[in-house]
Amino acid sequence: MPQKTKHTPMMEQYFSIKKEYPDAFLFYRLGDFYELFYDDAQQVAQLLELTLTSRNKNATDPIPMCGVPHHAAAGYIDTLVEQGYKVAICEQVEDPKTTKGMVKREVVQLVTPGTVMDGKGLTSKENNYLTACVTENEQFGFAYVDLSTGEVNVTSFLDKDVLLDEASALQTKEMVIVDLDETLQVELTKRLGLVFSTQDILESRHEQLETITENVQRQALFLLFSYLERTQKRQLDHLQIPQVYQPEHFLKMDHYSKANLELTRSMRSGKKQGTLLWLLDETKTAMGGRLLKQWIDHPLITKRAIEMRQAQVEQLLTAFFERIELIEQLKGVYDLERLAGRVAFGNVNARDLLQLCHSLEQVPAIRNSVLSLDQTVFQELLTELSPLEDLVALIRGSINEEAPLQITEGNVIKTGFHAQLDQYRDTMRNGKQWLADLEAKERTQTGIKNLKVGYNRVFGYYIEITKANLATFTPPEYFERKQTLSNAERFITPELKKIETMILEAQEESTALEYRLFLEVREQVKQSITRIQALAKAISTLDVLQSFATISEQYQYVKPVLTNEHRLFIKEGRHPVVEKVLGKQEYVPNDLIMEEDTMISLITGPNMSGKSTYMRQLALTVILAQIGCFVPANEAIIPIFDRIFTRIGASDDLIAGQSTFMVEMMEANQALQHATKNSLVLFDELGRGTATYDGIALAQAIIEYIHEHVKAKTLFSTHYHELTELANTLPHVINQHVGTVEEDGDVVFLHKMMAGPADKSYGIHVAKIAGLPESLLERATTILAELEATTPVSTTPTPVAVEVIEPIEQLDLFTEDSSVLNELEHLNVSMMTPIDVMMQVVKWQQQLKE
């Protein structure tokens, strides 16, 4: 902000408004443009590639300035918000024609990444969530809203990791906070690129909060609604009653596990393709696509609810012709959720209402398709599938099918809807004939055959006579001279004035009346928002269910049997996404059988043989089962899991400054701390990020800990063949390996799981497949033979007593140099990067050698 000097009243007004929105670009309305000044202008000119000019160019300190046309501003605002900025839209709230002095201006909306309502900032099949978080007595209150659909949810929890998981699952763009821990803010920003906003907690929208009893949840909702009221500055009648949920009421997966399993985003591209969502998405509506993603992020854990979805999918799967009809009907349904939001928000146009009407007209046929199925499993959906005939009649009777995008330009309301409007239109139509008749009459009376009646915006209607004709013609007294041109004279007459008044008044009044009538229609539609939202929920649910049925039929999935016992039985299981990519003929299915008393399966085999795929396919099969879909297998009996933990694939977390091994240990710790006997744990080559003996010791200790304490179903793949001996000492551990065939020195991976441990790792054979030089491979074979000849044969490892932590022998070295031990004791590892730690260890090694 510049130093306080003498400014024009307009700039003083600008400063007072900008002061209220220091963290937003202020789009200040001046006539047909939005103007930006000072720092806003300099930044926006660069971001949007606009020409930077200046106000008061001849002044000592000219004001930097840039602007965008009012009619094209939406695109520019979308671009800025998409980049994470906020835009305050300041409008003229008085008519300049009727105002003396400075026109009053106000910010009518603050557009932020979390409050986008339309435009390119929204993706049709993705939600755009704004979240709010408060802390109270070491408890987090967490609420979120999709302003474009009106969905509102609230929860509370004690663990900050749950906050990270929930925010990651929602892919929230913006979070409103009060005194949130700065370290947690940094972590959220690194993971999600969040925009943080602050807001005082104001007790508002009490009617929305009657059912919320927990104080920290109410505080989170107060914070959320306060922010919406401050930024949107209008009634938000489409906001639904907040739904209270608890994360533990769904199958829980932390953000690491969801990333590893590629549920909604590919680890390689960050996009949808190649994910479980990509596989399952045969939805035909935008709202169905959004609901599908929500179901994938929050699988169910209640057997009855899952089996209800299964029964609905089964009905749609077997009723082929009814399903095909339903799919065609769903294609005609627009995004009812966001249309309802636009109605409430006040930015709906005539074409939006026609889309709403067209969508509602599909409902009777959709309802009939569902009625032809087993009504007992669709009863709740049928209750919500209301055709809303009154809205259809209102919109069809009032809105012109050829209505323009702008609702202030006329031709929006149908003829026959309003008597006064029809009279105005009749006047405008007759006015053209009146003008033609007047022109013909004056030509006859004057004898001038090329006399014409014309119109322009400055002078209105006129009679034009060329100067060549005026040389022989004297205008009658009722001709009043209006304008002289180089080659003609223009006149008006009392009769022409009368016709002009009637036509222009009809045009002006007609347009104003149409606008008022449209607002009345919109208000009537607004009264039915709750009914539209209930209908949208039913249709989107049907859409997801038919998508499950379509996929299950296409890929020959089976309905899994769900059990509360601990037996896991999958016959001829497949990885659903890999199968789609390769084709069913190319994919090798595998059994996965873990009886009631089997807790851990140790999987050995070479790289590239399919161990990771085998583990992922189990997790995805479980998720498919618990969202109510059929699963890729010939037969499946699956226990209902409460959590899934994964450590699959090696990757550094460079954003957080953590090495592969650190990430491995953190993810392993999550499982060991939070898994229950009803959880599923998948560890792929855990411990390979450190020295061999360290890795074996840690892996064995983890296996024993899970066996003795956690007791969860666990798949543990490893290259440490020494660990396979644990099946001889731990009663609930079994061995599996990936089958191979070796002929003439070449190895073929069968991608088939077999009982027992693998006899080799085949690492050199994998290197051969990768195309390493032949001489290098021969040398590696020679070295391997020498190592195998000199290395003692491993014996059965001694089980580690998990409760007793023995000091590591290597620490005895530190007794020779107390300075090293002293440095280690005071070292703040949490503030160091992996490189810093490595350099420090090298330094200590040198000290000890000396």
To the nearest whole percent, how much of the chain has pLDDT over 90?
56
The reply to whether 262 falls in a domain is no
- pLDDT band for 748, please (50, 70, 90 cuts): low
Q: Are the C-beta atoms of 398 and 350 separated by less than 8 Å?
A: no
Q: Are residues 679 and 534 in the same domain?
A: no
Predicted pLDDT of residue 722 = 84
pLDDT in tens, 481-520: 988 898 899 999 999 998 888 888 888 888 899 999 999 9
CA distances from 758 to 616, 670, 717, 777 (A): 20, 29, 11, 22
Does the residue 121 lie in any domain? no
| pLDDT score recorded for residue 301 | 96
CB-based contact 326:309 (threshold 8 Å): no
What sign has the CA pseudo-torsion 702, 704, 708, 712? positive
Beta bridge partners, 146, equal: 129, 151
Q: Any binding-site annotation on 428? A: no
**pLDDT at position 738 over 70:** yes
Does residue 605 have a known ligand-binding role? yes
pLDDT in tens, 520-573: 999 999 999 999 999 999 999 999 999 999 999 999 999 999 998 999 999 999
Residue 446 lies in a domain: yes
Most confident segment among 90-99, 400-409, 637-646: 637-646
Q: Are residues 671 and 724 in the same domain?
A: yes
Question: Rounded to 5 degrees, what are φ and ψ at 33?
Answer: -130, 155
Identify the domain boundary among 234, 249, 264: 249
Same domain for 651 and 584: yes
Task: Tokens 């040389």: give the residue.
Answer: 471
How would residue 346 be classed by pLDDT, with cut points 50, 70 and 90? confident
Residue 652 pLDDT > 50, yes or no?
Answer: no
Q: What angle do CA 459, 460, 464 make, to 5 degrees?
A: 80
Residue 573 confidence (pLDDT):
95
Q: How confident is the model at residue 691 (pLDDT cuts 50, 70, 90)?
A: low
DSSP-assigned beta bridge partners for residue 631: 558
Tokens, residue 235:
């009634």
Say which residue, 264 or 190, is predicted with more confidence: 264
Which CATH number does the domain housing residue 762 bear?
3.40.50.300
Boundaries of domain holding 331: 281-388+528-553
Confirm if 604 and 720 have CB atoms less than 8 A apart: no
608 is in an annotated binding site: yes
How many angstroms separate the CA atoms of 685 and 694, rounded? Answer: 13
> Using the 8-state DSSP alphabet, how is residue 36 labeled?
E
Alpha-carbon distance of 714 to 721, in angstroms, equals: 18
Q: Which stretches within 171-266 are classed as H helix? A: 182-192, 215-232, 255-261
Q: Per-residue pLDDT averaged across 350-357, rounded? A: 95
Kindly state the tokens that stand for 647: 């450590």
**Where is mean pLDDT largest: 351-360, 605-614, 823-832?**
351-360
pLDDT, residue 181, reads: 85
Token look-up 């663990």 returns 159
pLDDT at 805 (0 to 100)? 35
For the chain, the residue count is: 850
Both 104 and 133 in one domain: the answer is: no
Mean per-residue pLDDT of the chain:
86
Confidence band, pLDDT 50/70/90 cuts, at residue 808: very low
Inside any domain, residue 258: no
The pLDDT score that the predictor gives to residue 795 is 43
Indicate whether 493 and 464 sit together in one domain.
Answer: yes
Q: Do 493 and 582 belong to one domain?
A: no
CB atoms closer than 10 angstroms to residue 277: 22
Using the Cα atoms of residue 504, residue 509, residue 510 and residue 511 in order, give the sign of their dihedral: positive
What is the maximal distance between C-alpha atoms in the chain?
128
Instruction: Place 771 in a pLDDT band, splitting at 50, 70 and 90.
Output: low
Tokens of 99: 């105002």
* Distance between CA atoms of residues 278 and 405, nearest Å: 34
- CB-hemisphere CA count at 13 Å for 276? 30
Q: Are strands 195-198 and 174-177 parallel, antiparallel or unpaired?
A: parallel
- Domain of 536: which CATH number? 1.10.1420.10
pLDDT at residue 524, rounded to an integer: 95
Give pLDDT, residue 780.
67
Helices 763-770 and 774-790 cross at an angle (nearest 10°) of: 170
Q: Phi and psi (nearest 5°) for 13?
A: -60, -40
3-state secondary structure of 776: helix
* Distance from the Cα of residue 84 to its chain's centroid: 15
Q: How many angstroms separate the Cα of 716 from the Cα of each of 614, 632, 697?
A: 11, 22, 14
Strands in 635-639's sheet, in edge-to-edge order, are: 561-563, 635-639, 568-573, 590-594
Q: Which of 394, 302, 685, 359 is nearest to 536 (CA)?
A: 359
Q: Is 609 annotated as a binding residue?
A: yes
Q: Give the model's pLDDT for residue 669.
A: 83
Residues 612 and 652 in one domain: yes
SS3 labels along 295-335:
HHHCCECCHHHHHHHHHHHHHHHHCHHHHHHHHHHHCCCCC
Q: How far apart are CA 609 and CA 381, in angstroms?
A: 46
* Residue position matching structure tokens 């003396």: 100
On whether both 715 and 778 belong to a single domain, the answer is: yes
Over residues 192-243, the pLDDT tens digits come to: 888 899 888 877 665 667 778 889 999 999 999 999 999 998 888 899 999 9
Cα separation, 808 vs 831, whole angstroms: 25
SS3 of residue 179 by DSSP = coil
Confidence of residue 756 (pLDDT cuts 50, 70, 90): confident
What's the CATH code of the domain at 19? 3.40.1170.10
Domain total in the chain: 6
Q: SS3 for 421?
A: helix
Residue with the two structure tokens 């006329």? 410
**CA 265 to CA 201: how far, in whole Å?**
35
Alpha helices in 637-762 (DSSP H): 660-674, 692-705
Q: Are residues 547 and 575 in the same domain?
A: no
Same domain, 46 and 176: no
pLDDT of residue 694 exceeding 80, the answer is: no
CATH of the domain at 237: 3.30.420.110
Q: Which residue has the tokens 């209908």?
A: 535
Phi/psi of residue 621, each to 5°?
-65, -40
Q: What is the pLDDT of residues 712-723, one digit of tens each?
A: 999 999 888 888
- pLDDT, residue 65, reads 94
Task: Answer whether residue 521 is part of any domain.
Answer: no
Q: What are phi and psi of 337, to 5 degrees?
A: -60, -50
The residue type found at 216 is V
Q: What is the DSSP letter of 239?
A: P
Give 367's pLDDT tier (boundaries 50, 70, 90): very high
CA atoms within 13 Å, Cβ hemisphere of 646? 25
What is the DSSP annotation of 779-831? Answer: HHHHHHHHHHHHSPPP-PPPPP-TT--PPPGGGGGGGG-HHHHHHHHT--GGG
Q: Are 620 and 577 in contact (CB under 8 A)?
A: yes
> What's the pLDDT tens digit per position in 252-284?
998 888 988 999 998 888 889 999 999 999 999
DSSP string, 114-161: T---SSTT--TTS--EEEEEEEETTEEEEEEEETTTTEEEEEEES-HH
When pLDDT is averaged across residues 376-392 and rounded to a whole number, the result is 94
**CA 591 to CA 614: how far, in whole Å?**
10
Claim to verify: residue 740 and residue 599 sit in the same structural domain: yes
812 C-beta neighbours (distance < 10 Å), count: 9
With vertex at residue 283, the alpha carbon angle to CA 279 and CA 287, rounded to the nearest 5 degrees, is 125
In the chain, count of helices (H) and strands (E)?
Answer: 28, 27
pLDDT of residue 575: 93
Instruction: Answer whether residue 263 is part of any domain.
Output: no
Ranges of H-type helices in 388-493: 389-398, 419-446, 467-470
pLDDT, greater one: 545 or 790: 545
Residues 6 or more apart whose CB falls under 8 angstroms from that of 401 comprise 354
Residues facing residue 822 across a β-bridge: none
Strands across the sheet with 25-30, in order?
53-55, 63-69, 33-37, 25-30, 87-92, 105-111
Residue 557, SS3 per DSSP? coil
Question: Strand, coil or helix: what is 461?
Answer: strand
Report the run of H or E that residue 35 belongs to, with start and end: strand 33-37
> Crossing angle, helix 494-526 and helix 350-360, to 10 degrees?
50
Contact call for residues 426 and 447 (beta carbons, < 8 A): no
> Rounded to an integer, what distance in angstroms lies between the CA atom of residue 75 and that of residue 594?
56
The answer to whether 602 and 735 are in contact (CB under 8 A) is yes
| Model confidence band, residue 650 (pLDDT cutoffs 50, 70, 90) | very low
Work out the end-to-end distance of the chain between its first and last CA atoms, rounded to an integer number of angstroms: 61
Q: What is the pLDDT of residue 826?
A: 64
CA 672, 675, 677, 679 torsion-angle sign: negative
Region 789-817: mean pLDDT is 46
If we measure between CA atoms, which residue out of 748, 689, 698, 688 comes closest to residue 719? 688
Q: Is residue 753 part of a domain?
A: yes
Cβ(737)–Cβ(603) under 8 Å? yes
Q: Which range among 140-154, 297-311, 640-654, 733-747 shows the weakest confidence by mean pLDDT?
A: 640-654
Q: What pLDDT was estimated at residue 809? A: 40
What distance in Å separates the CA atoms of residue 396 and residue 403, rounded to the nearest whole number? 12
Both 741 and 604 in one domain: the answer is yes
Q: Is 431 annotated as a binding residue?
A: no
The response to whether 606 counts as a known ligand-binding position is yes
